[in-house]
């Protein structure tokens, strides 16, 4: 395997872990507030499918505006959500 391929795979793995971290935080926020995916989707004007994929760490098209909408809805600082180590 060439160096660029190794770096590309490593980056993809890091991105997957990062999305999983954000997703699990979003899931915990929703559950701790006793909200359904449908309620969150309606309040944030996102589809239930997107909310579900975000929470599972499977939505790799997560843009800043969507993340900010979710953070505003849950009344949390975005820094707390994206701080994943």
If one counts the domains in the chain, the total is 1
* Residue given tokens 């999983």 in the structure block: 20
- pLDDT mean over 69-76: 98
Asked if residue 1 has pLDDT above 60, the reply is no
State yes or no: pLDDT of 2 exceeds 60: no
DSSP for residue 63: -
Q: How far is CA 44 from CA 28, 35, 49, 59, 72, in A?
A: 17, 12, 13, 16, 9
Q: What is the pLDDT of residue 51?
A: 98
Residue 27's domain is classified under what CATH number? 1.10.260.40
Distance CA 5, CA 24 (A): 29
How confident is the model at residue 7, as a pLDDT? 78
Query: What's the pLDDT at 85?
Result: 75
> What is the structure's pLDDT at 79?
96
Domain with 52, as residue range(s), is: 3-82
76-85 per-position pLDDT tens digit: 999 999 998 7
């Amino acid at each position: 395997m060439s160096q660029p391929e190794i770096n590309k795979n490593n980056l993809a793995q890091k991105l997957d872990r990062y999305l999983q971290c954000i997703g699990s935080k979003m899931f915990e926020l929703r559950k701790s507030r006793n909200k359904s995916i449908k309620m969150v989707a309606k309040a944030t004007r996102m589809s239930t499918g997107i909310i579900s994929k975000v929470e599972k760490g499977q939505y790799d098209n997560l843009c800043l505006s969507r993340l900010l909408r979710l953070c505003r809805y849950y009344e949390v600082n975005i820094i707390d959500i994206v701080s994943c180590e």
